[in-house]
Structure 1
Amino acid sequence: MKKENELIKKHYYKQLIMNKETNPISILAEAMLDETQKEEGGNECFIRFAQGEVYYHHKDYESAIFKWEKVENEFVPWAKKNIADSYYELGYLVKAEEEYLAIHTDNVTLASEVQLQLFSLYMEQSQLEQAAEVIKQVVALNPDYLTVTEIARTFFEEHRDWDSAIELAIQEAIRTESMDWFNIVSDYIDKGLTKAIEPNYFTKLLQTLFLVDIEKFEKISVAFWKSYQHGEYYFSWLTEFNQLLSEMSFQDISLQELSKVYEETYSDLISEGTYLIEDISSIVSTILTNWLKITKKSQALLPATAVLSWNQIISEGIEGSVVKEAEAIWAHASKTPTDGFLPSIDVFNSIVKWANEHGIQIGERVPWMVEHVMDLEMNHVMIAGEHTEGKSQLLRNVLGQEDINEAKTILYRYGSDSMYSEILESGDWLPLDDDWIEQSLSRKLVAHSVPSSFLKNNNLEILTTKSIDEMETYVNIADRILYVIDINTLSFESDLLLLEKIQRNDPTIAIDFIVTKMNTIYTEQEVERIVTQLEERIKDSFPLSQMFDLKDGLHVCLKQLSKNKERTGERNQKILKISKRAIELLLEKRVKREKQLLEEITWNEEAILKLTGANNQLSDIEKEKIQHIKESYEVIMKEMKDELKVRIPKTLQACSRFVNESSNFKQIHIELNRKMNEEIQQYLQQTFVPKFANSLQQWLEIGNVEFIQSQAYLKDMTDGFNRLYQNDHFKFQGDFRILDDWYRDIDRMNYGVHVENMNILLRVTPSQLLLKSSGKLFGVLPSNKSMVEKMYKKFIENEDYKQVTDSIISQYMLQFDLFGKALERDMKMFFSSPFRQLNEAIIEAESAINHYTEELNILRANPKKYNDPLTLFKTRIYQLELVAQASGNNWSESYVTQ
C-alpha cells in the first residue's frame, strides 16, 4: 500500500535518490548513465518512470510525458495514468480523457485514481452526466477508497440528483452499518425526498437497521410512514412494512412511538368512511397484529380492543392466537383514565360528516340528543308510563302549574318565560304560537320552557313521553327513568319487559317506579296485596330499583342523581348508543332511498305516458280546430269571390245607360271608363263590404268559440297535471292575442283595401279601336249618332269583362288570401305554449328517470360503498365500548358484546 501511495503522489523517485540532497534530476541522470553502461541493465524503465515524476513536479510536463512513454515494465499502467495527468495539467482535456479511458488495469487503487481524475475532468467541463456516471463507478468499485463516498454524496446533493444521493446513502448504510449514513437517509426522508420511491426499495435498509439499532429503526420507520401517508405509495408502504415487521421477532421490545403511528393509521383507515372493507381488510388485519406485537403488554389496551372489535364486527384476517392474546390483555387490563367525551364525539362527528357528504340527514334529532347528553351539569329525568293522569299530577306537584299536556312528548326545562318550541329533526328549535296544539297534532317533540325554581335549582330537565315508542326513542338521553304505574291497571307486564330490555342495553340508567292509587277501585287490603305483588315482580327484574309514592317520587329521585356527579363514563355510553342508533337510521335510509328511487322512476314513467297522451290528444284537437277554422274561412272566401265574379261584370254592363245621343262620342270611352271605375268602387263600398264584413264577423265569433273551448280543455289539463305533480307546475294557456290580431286584420282588410282604377275601355283591342274610330268618324254626322249610341251600348252590354274581373278580384282578395294562408300558423301559435310545456315536462321526466336510474344502479351495483363505512363506524364504537369497560365504567359484558 505504501508503494501505491508513492505512485499516486508521484513520489516513487524518492526511493531511487535515497533522500540525497543533490538535485534529483542529476542523480537520476547519473543513475541512468550508470545503468546503460551495465551489460545486463534492466532498471532503465524504473529510472525513466522516476525521471518523469521529477519533471512532472517541476511542471516540465512534455519531458515527463516523453519519459513515461518509454516505460515498458509493470509501471506501464501508472505511466499511462501519469501521462493523462500531464495532459490534464497542460489543459489538453480531450487528450487527457482519451488517455484515461485507454487505461485498463486490475489494480483497484489505480482504477479508482483514474476514475477520480476523470470525475475532476468532467466537472471542469461541466459534463455532469459523465461525472455522475464516473463517481458511481468509483463508489461501486472501491467505496472505502479515501473519501470517495463523501465526494459522491456532495456531488449528488449539490446538483440535486436526489435519486442517486438516496441510492448512495442506502447502499452505504447497509454496507457500513454506520449511523452517519442512516442519519443521512433519515434527513432525506424528513425533506420528503423519498416519498416518490416505491417502499420495497427500502426493505433491505430497514432489515439491516433493525439488527443494528432498534431505536433508530423505529424513528426511521415512523419517518417513512409519515412521508408516505395519504400519498401514491401509502398502501404499498403499509403492505410492505407490515410484511417486513411480521417476519421480525420482538422479545421484550416495545416501540411506543411506532405504536402511536399504528393507532393513528388504524383510526384513519376506519374512521372517515373512505375505504371499502375488501380494500383494507388484509392490510388492517396485519396492522392490528403488528400493533399488538410491538406494544408493551401493560399499555396494549388500545391495540387489544382494536383486534377484538375488528374480529367481532368484520371477522376477517386475524389469527386465532392473536385474538386470544388480545382477549387476555383486555381481561387483565388495569383501570385507566379515559379521554372524556373526545373519542365518542369523534366517532359521532365522523358519522355525521359522512352522512352530510352523501346528502343524508340522520334525523330523529340525533345531533340534539348528543349535545343534550354532553351537558354534564344537567340532570335528565324521563317520566314514562301509560297512566297519563299520574304523570300529569306528578308534574303539577313539581312545576307548580296546571297546563300539563298529557298527549304530547314534552321536554320541560327552565326558562324565565313560559314558551313552547319544537325541536326539529335537524336539532334546531322553532318557537311555537300558543295555539300550536290545535295547529300541529303531528309534532313529535316539544320543549316547554317553564319559570320553575324546582327545575332551576336542581339543574333538571324532565322529558315526558306520550307512548312506549317515544320512550324507546329518547331513552338514551335520560339519566333516570321514573315509570308511573296505576294500581288500577294490572296489564303492565309488557311495559316491564320493555324496561328490562332498556336496562340490558344500558345498565347505567336507573329505573324507579311510582305507584299511583288515584281513584282506586280496590279495598285497602287488595291495594296492599297488589302493591306487594308488584314489588316482588319489580325486585326480580330490577333489584336496584325503588318504588315511590306520587308525592315525593321526583324529590327522592333527584337525591339519587346528586350522589353521582361524575357521570362522564355513563354519558359516554349514551353517546355511543346514540351513534349506533344513527348508524341504524342511515342503514334504514339506504333501503328507503332505494324504494324512493323506484317510486320516482315509476312515477316519472307514468307521467311520461300521461304527458305523451296529452300531447297527442292536444295535437288532435289542434288539427281539428285548424281544419274547422280554415274550412269556415274558405267558405266565406269562395262566396266573396263568386260574388265578385258575378256582380262586377253586371255592374260594368249596366254602365251602358250612360251612353245616349247627347254623349260626346269623341270622348265617350274616357267618360265611360271613369264611370265604370266609380260604379265598381260604389258597389264594393256600399254593397260588397257590408255584406261580407258581417260574414267575417260571424267567422271571428266562430274562432272565438273555438279558442274558448280549447282553453277550457287546457284548463282541465292544467288542473289534472297539477294534481299529478302536487303543485302548480303547469299553466297551459292559449295565446288569445292571435284572436285580437284577427279582429284587427279583418277590420283593416274590410275597410282598408283599395282597388286601383282600371283601364276598362282604354285598352287597345281591335274592337275598341274600331269603336273609337267609328265614334270619331261618325260623331261629326248628327244623323249617325243614334247608330253609334247603339254600337256602344251593344259593346258594353255584350263584353264579358273577365280580365277586368280577375284583376279586381286579385287586387281586392290578395290580403284575404294571405290572411287565410296564415291561419294554420296562427292556430299553432295559439297552442305553442302548452305544447312547449308538455315537451319540456317530458324531457324533464326522462332526465329524472335517467338520473334516478343511474343512482339506483350505483346503489345496487355497489352496496358496499354505502354499507362498509357504516360497518367500520360500528367497529370503532365497539372498540370504544371495550375500552370503556376496561377503564372501569361498569359497563356490563352483556351490553358490550351484543
Structure 2
Amino acid sequence: MTLEEYLIHKTYYKATYINEKEEREPIQVLGDAYVLEQQNELPDLSYIRYAQGELYFHYKDFEAAIFKWENIKNELRPWARKNMADAYVELGLAKDAEDIYKSIKSDSTTLQMEVLLQLFSLYINQGQIDLADRTLKEAVSLNPDYPNVTEIARAFYEKQEMVQDAVQLAVSEAIRTESITWFQCVVRYVKKGWTTTYPPNFFRDFIKAVYDVEQSSFEQTLISLWESYSEEDCYLEWLNMLGSILLDLELKENSRISSLYKETYFHLLEGQYFIKEISGIVPDLITNWLKISSSSDKIFVASAILAWNEVYPSSLDPSVISDAEYNICQAKSADEVFTHSLRLFKAIARWSGDHELEVSERTKWMVQQLMDEDAHHLMVIGPTGNGKSSFINSILGGNILKPSTSSIVLFKNSDVLDIQEVREESVEKIADISDFQASTASQLQMKLIDFKMPNKFLSENEIAVIDSPSFQGNSKGRNDYFHYLTLADSLLFVLNANVPFTDKECDILLQIQKFMPGLPIHFVLNKIDTIYSEREVNRIIEETESRLSEYFPGAQVYPYSSVYESDEQLSQLSEFIKTAIHSVNREQGRTENLLYLIRHLISELLEKRVKMENEMVEAISWKEDIVGRLSGARHQLQDLKGEKTQQIQTEYQIIVEEIRNEIISTIPSILKGCTDFIKEDSDFRRIHSELNDEMNNRVHDYLYQDVLPKYYGHLKKWISRSQGEFNQCKEYLDEMCEGFNHLYGEAKLKLEFDFRVIDDWSRDADRMTNSVRLEKINILSRNTPTQLLLKGAGKLFGAIQQNKTMLYTKYKNMVENEDYYETSVIIANKFMHQFDLFEKGLERDITMFFKEPLTMMDQLIEQTHEKINNQHNTLQNLRANPQKYQDPLTLFEIRLRQFEWMFDAAKEIQPIY
C-alpha cells in the first residue's frame, strides 16, 4: 500500500509507528513516541499528532482529532485539513466542512480527487444536486482513472436521469478505455432511447472504437444505433455517416447486419424520398452491404448494385461492380424474387394512390391471379373457325361461350356462380350467364371477365381456363393481346383438323413465342370428327406433329372432337393436360409475368403523370371558360331583373295613376250632385252636418262600388301580365341551365325562380280591395267665408219659415259652385295609401323572385374560382417539383431492374413448348 493510500484510509499511524510485532495498543505506542520526541533538543511533534488524530477519528473522538490536526504545519497539513473537514462532516457541521474542503490547496492529484469526492458526497447528502454534478464533473475531468470515479458518475447520472451527461460519459469512457463494459452501457442507453437527441456524428469515433476492440459488441452496437435512428428525422444523416465509416473498415460477413441493410435498402427505395436525398447514401450503403452480406443475400445486394449502376453508372467504384457481377454469376437460385416483386407492386400501388395516379382495377386483378397458387392457368387460343369456343364449352359442360367474342374470360372453379367484369376503374357484377353472353357479344372493345362457377373438370385438374379473343394483327390489338398473355401458365392452341397449322397460325405463334419465349405451348387438333377415315386421321396427326416439331420441339398434340362429348374423351383430355403442365415451372413463369406487369405499370404511371398535367391544364382552361360564361349569364340575369323590375313597376304605377286621376276628376261631380239632398223644408240648423254625411256616403259608395272593382280588375290583369313576364324569365333561365348542363355533362345547374311572389300579390290584391276603410272627412267644414256664413245663418234663421227659401237657394249655390279639387286629392290620397305601400314593396318582391338563381350562380362562380385556384397551385407545384413524381418512379424502376437481374441470373432454362 502506498503512503497516499494510508493517508486516504487514515492509517498513516500504522505505516510509521506500528510494526507487525507490536503488542501494545496503538494509542499507547503513539503516546510513548510523543514523550520520546519531546525529549529531543528540537522536537517535531507534527507527525505524531497527525497519527494521533487518525486514532481519535477512528475512536469517534472527532473534537480531539480536530485539535490534533489543527497544529500540523508540515507537508501533511493539506491532508490534515482534509481530515478535519471529514471530522466536521461526522459532527454534522456541513458548512464548516465545506469551507475547509474548498480552502485546501495541494499539488497531489490524489488529495484533490479525495476532496472532490468528499464534497460530492456532502452535496448529495444536502440535496444540492447542481453542486454535486459540478463537483463530480470536475473530478472526472481531473482524473477519470481514479478508482470508481466514473462508476460513481454513471450511477449518479442514471439515478438523477441526467440522460445527456450519462450518454456523454459512457461514450467518452468507451472510447478512452476500450472497455466492453462501457460499450454495453452505451448500447443499454441506446435501447432505452436516450441517444436519439444526439446527431449521428457524435458516435463516429465510438463506432470505430468498438470495431477495433470486439466484433460481437460491434454488431450489437451497430444494430441498436441503427434501429434507434430509423424513426428519427436524422435517419438519412445516420446512414450517410455510417456509410463513410464502414467504407474504411474490413467488414466480415454478418447475417443480422445484412438483414438490416436489406430492410434499409427497401425503405430508401420505397418512393418516399427524393433521389437527391439518397443519391449520396445508396452507393456507400450497397458497397458496404456487399462486404457484410450473408451468402443468402449475395444475389440480392449484387443485383441491387448492378441495377443502381445502370441508372447512375459513375456513382460506384468499378471494383464494386466487378464483385457484384461475380456474385450474380454464382447465384443458384432466387427464391424470393416473386415475393419481393409483389412487395414492389404493392409499394407502387400505395404510392400511386397517394398521388392521384390510381392503379387500374384490371392490373390489380391480374396480379391477384398470379398470386393464386390453387390452379394452373391454361389459356386457350385459336383463330375464328377452329372451334375454340366449342372446345371450351365442352370442358365447361354447357353452352356458355358464344363464338367470336372480343373478351378475355377466366373460368375458375368455385362453390357458387359469380361473374364479374373487371374494368379499368371498377369491378361490376354480371347477374347471370345470359347477361354475360350479352355483355361479351360486343366486338367494340376487349373486356375482362372473371367467371367463377362450380365445375368438376376444372376442380379435378386444378386448372383455370382462359378464353382469349382472336389474335389481332394491328399494333394496338397485338399489344393488348400480349398484355393478357401474362395471365397464362401455359398455352393451348386450337387447330382445325381440316386445315391444321396454317402459315397465319404459325406467324401468330411465333410472335407470341418472341414476346414470351418461356411460355409452354401445346395443341388441340379440333374437329377430328369431320375426318371420316381413321387412316386419314392418323396421317393428319403425324403431319401436324411433324410440322409443329420444326418450330416447337416436343410440343404435344391432342386430337379432339367438341361434337362427340364423352367421359372417356374428357378423361383422356385430363391426362393430356396433366402431362402438358407437369414440367411447367409455374413460379418462374409467374415471376417473369409479374415483372412484366410491374414494368408495364411504371410506364403507364409515367404516361398518367403527363396525362394528368395535360388534363389539369385543360380542366383549368375549361373552368375559366365556364366562369366567363357563368359571369356573363349572371350579368344578363341581373339586367333582366332590372328590366322586369322597371317594367312591372311602371305598369303598376300607370294603373295607380289612372285610378287616382279618375278619383280626383269624378269626386267633384259627385259632391256637386249632392244639391238634390237640399230641400226647402230641410232643417237648416242641422243641414251642414247632414249634407257632409251625405257627401261622405256618396263618395264611399263611389269608391267601393265603382273604383275598387275597377282597380281589382286592373290589378288582376297586371298580376297576370307580370306572371307572363316571369314565365319568360323562367324560359330564359331553363334554356341557360340546359346550355350549361350540356357543357358540364350533368345536371349541375337547376335554378328556380320564386313564383310565390305571384301568390303573394294575388293575396295582397284580395286583401287590399276587401279591407279598404276610408274615414269620414269634413268636406263642408273647411272654414271658408261662404260656409261659415251659411252655417251661422242656418243656426239663426233655420227655424223661421220665411228664411228657408233663401237658405235653400244659398246652400244649393254653395254646393254647386264650391271647388272640390283639394278635397278630391285628399280623398284620393287616403284611399290610395295602402296601394302606395304595395307599390313600394314591388322592387323587394321582384328581387326575391330573382334571388335564388342569382345567389346560386354567385356560389357556383365562387366555387369554380376556388377550384381554378387550387388546380393552378397544384399545377404549379407539379411543374416546380417534377421530381415528386419522377423520382419515386425512377426508384421503383431501379428495384424492378434489380429483381430482373436476380431472375435472369437464377432462372432455369426451360423449353418453350
TM over 0.5: yes
> Which stretch of structure 1 is more off in the superposition, 384-393 or 708-717?
384-393
Compared CA separation, residues 106 and 542, structure 1 to 2 (3 A): farther
| More deviation, 172-181/352-361 | 352-361
Q: 1:580 to 1:501 in 2, by over 3 A?
A: farther
AA in 2 matched with 1:632? E
1:319 aligned onto 2:320 = no
Displacement, 1:513?
A: 5.9
CA-to-aligned-CA distance 1:54-87 (integer Å, 9 cap, x gap): 3333434334333333322212211221222222
Q: Distance in 1 between matches of 2:548 and 2:315?
A: 46
Which runs of structure 2 are paired with 1:839-858 in the superposition (5 Å)? 839-858=858-877
Residues 159/891 of structure 1: CA separation in 2 closer, same or farther (3 Å cut):
farther
Alignment correspondent of 2:281: 283
Matched with 1:4 is: 4
* CA deviation map 1:732-788 (0-9, x unaligned): 222221111112212222232111111222455554332222122232433222222
2:533 is aligned to: none
In the TM superposition, what is the alpha-carbon distance from 1:294 to its structure 2 partner?
1.7
Written as runs of structure 1 = structure 2, the 5 A alignment for 1:515-534 is none
1:784-834, Cα deviation, whole Å (9 max, x unpaired): 222222222222223223443233222211111111111122112112222
Q: Structure 2: which 5+ runs fail to align?
A: 531-537, 562-568
What is the alpha-carbon root mean square deviation over aligned residues? 3.4
In the other structure, the counterpart of 1:258 is: 257
For 2:239, the equivalent position in structure 1 comes to 238
* Aligned equivalent of 2:482: 472
> Structure 1 residues 582 and 379, CA, compared in 2 at 3 Å: closer, same or farther?
same
1:347 equivalenced with 2:344 (yes/no):
yes
Structure 1 pair 60–393 and aligned structure 2 pair: CA distance change class (3 A): closer
Deviates more, 1:867-876 or 1:597-606: 867-876
What is the aligned partner in structure 2 of residue 200 from structure 1? 201
Answer yes or no: is the 8 Å Cα contact 1:649–1:801 preserved in 2.
yes
Separation in structure 2 between the aligned mates of residue 891 and residue 321 of structure 1, nearest angstrom? 33
Change (3 A) 1:492 1:224: farther
Indicate the residue corresponding to 1:801 in structure 2. 820
Deviation at 1:495, TM superposition (A): 7.8
- Worse-superposed segment, 205-214 or 309-318: 309-318
- Structure-2 residue corresponding to 1:701: 720
Task: Quote the residue 2:167 is aligned against.
Answer: 166
Which residue in 1 is equivalent to 2:335? Answer: 338
- Deviation sequence 1:643-668 (CA, Å, 0-9, x none): 11111222222222222321111111
Summarize deviations over 1:145-175 as a string: whole Å, max 9, x none.
Answer: 2222222222221221222222222222222
CA 1:64 to 1:449, structure 2 compared with 1: closer, same or farther past 3 Å?
closer
What is the CA distance between 1:676 and its match in structure 2? 0.8
In structure 1, what is the Cα distance between the partners aligned to 2:279 and 2:872? 31
Q: Check if 1:328 corresponds to 2:329.
A: no
Gaps of 5+ in 1: 521-527
Number of paired residues? 882
Equivalent positions of 1:150-189 (< 5 A) are 150-189=151-190
1:607 aligns with 2:657: no
Of the candidates 370, 387, 392, which is equivalent to residue 389 of structure 2?
A: 392
What is the aligned counterpart of 1:509 among 519, 544, 558? 519
Give the structure 1 partner of residue 601 of structure 2.
582
My pick for the range that moved more, 430-439 or 203-212, is 430-439
TM-score between the two structures when normalised by the length of structure 1: 0.90
Letter in 2 for 1:837: M
- Corresponding residue of 2:300: 302
Q: Residue type matched to 1:96 in 2?
A: A
In the TM superposition, what is the alpha-carbon distance from 1:518 to its structure 2 partner?
Answer: 11
Q: C-alpha distance in 2, partners of 1:633/1:420?
A: 69
Are 2:363 and 1:366 equivalent residues in the alignment?
A: yes
Displacement of 1:393: 4.9
Per-residue deviation, 1:52: 3.1
Cα displacement string for residues 861-889 of structure 1 (whole angstroms, at most 9, x for unaligned residues): 22222232232222223222333344444
Which residue in 2 is equivalent to 1:779?
A: 798
- Would the aligned equivalents of 1:395 and 1:404 in 2 still touch at CA under 8 Å? no
Task: Mark the CA change 1:758 to 1:549 in structure 2 (over 3 Å): closer, same or farther.
Answer: same
**Kindly tell me: are residues 416 and 103 of structure 1, through their superposed partners in 2, closer, same or farther at Cα, counting changes over 3 Å?**
closer
Aligned residue runs from structure 1 range 81-120, under 5 A: 81-120=82-121
Question: Counterparts of 1:70-89 in structure 2 under 5 Å?
Answer: 70-89=71-90
When residues 264 and 413 of structure 1 are mapped into structure 2, their CA distance, relative to the original with a 3 A threshold, is closer
Alignment correspondent of 2:691? 672
Look up the equivalent residue of 1:201 and give its one-letter code.
F
Note if contact 1:717-1:732 (Cα within 8 Å) is conserved in structure 2: no
Q: Give 1:300 deviation, angstroms.
A: 1.8
Partner of 1:525: none
Secondary structure in 2 aligned to 1:755? coil
Separation in structure 1 between the aligned mates of residue 653 and residue 500 of structure 2, nearest angstrom? 90
Q: Distance in 1 between matches of 2:7 and 2:419?
A: 103
Aligned residue for 1:664, secondary structure, equals coil
Q: Does 1:620 align with 2:630?
A: no
Q: 2:748 aligns with which of 729, 753, 756?
A: 729
Give, in whole Å, the separation in 1 of the partners of 2:803 and 2:786. Answer: 19
Question: TM-score scaled by structure 2?
Answer: 0.89
Q: What is residue 269 of structure 1 aligned with on the other side?
A: 268
Which amino acid letter does the alignment assign opposite residue 291 of structure 2? K
Asked whether the 8 Å contact 2:6–2:15 carries over to 1, the reply is no
What corresponds to 1:430 in structure 2? 429
Aligned 8 A contact 1:313 1:874 in 2: no
Taking the aligned partners of 2:460 and 2:360, their CA distance within structure 1 comes to 32
| Structure 2 Cα separation of the partners of residues 255 and 608 of structure 1 | 65
Distance change >3 Å, CA 38–CA 872, structure 1 → 2: same
Closer/same/farther in 2, CA of residues 214 and 828 from structure 1, 3 Å limit: same
Structure 1 stretch displaced more, 449-458 or 677-686:
449-458
Q: Aligned with 1:687: secondary structure?
A: helix
Task: String of CA shifts for 1:357-415, please: whole Å, max 9, x gaps.
Answer: 33443115122212222333422222335435543354456556555331232334456
Q: Distance in 2 between matches of 1:84 and 1:46?
A: 19
* Aligned mates of 1:439, 1:504 — CA distance in 2: 32
Asked if the contact 2:377/2:487 (under 8 Å) is kept, the reply is yes
TM-superposed CA distance for 1:560, in Å, is 4.6
Q: C-alpha separation between the residues in 2 aligned to 1:49 and 1:227?
A: 56
Instruction: Check conservation: 1:304, 1:327, Cα contact below 8 A.
Output: yes
CA distance in 2, matches of 1:295, 1:330: 13
2:138 partner letter: Q
C-alpha distance 843-891 of structure 1, shift in aligned 2 (>3 A): farther
- Assess if the C-alpha contact under 8 Å between 1:422 and 1:432 holds in 2: no
Going from structure 1 to structure 2, the CA distance change for 1:519 and 1:742 (only over 3 Å counts) comes to: farther
Q: Check conservation: 2:49, 2:72, Cα contact below 8 A.
A: yes
What letter matches 1:391 in structure 2? K
Report the equivalent of 2:13. Answer: 13
> 1-side partners of 2:504 and 2:99: how far apart?
103
Indicate conservation of the 8 Å contact 1:281/1:316, yes or no: no
Query: In the aligned structure 1, how far is the partner of 2:451 from the partner of 2:299?
Result: 45
Contact 1:78 1:110 in 2 (8 A): yes
Q: Distance in 2 between matches of 1:356 and 1:838?
A: 34
Q: Offset of 1:203 from its aligned partner?
A: 1.6
Q: 1:537 to 1:710 in 2, by over 3 A?
A: farther
Which residue is 1:755 aligned to? 774
Query: 2:150 & 2:99 partners in 1: Cα distance?
Result: 25
Question: Does residue 458 of the first structure (1) align with residue 456 of the second (2)?
Answer: no
How far apart, in 2, do the equivalents of 1:198 and 1:618 lie? 66
Counterpart Cα distance in 2 of 1:321 and 1:496? 48
SS in 1 for 2:281: helix
What percentage of aligned pairs have identical amino acids?
A: 38
Report SS of the residue matched to 1:380: strand
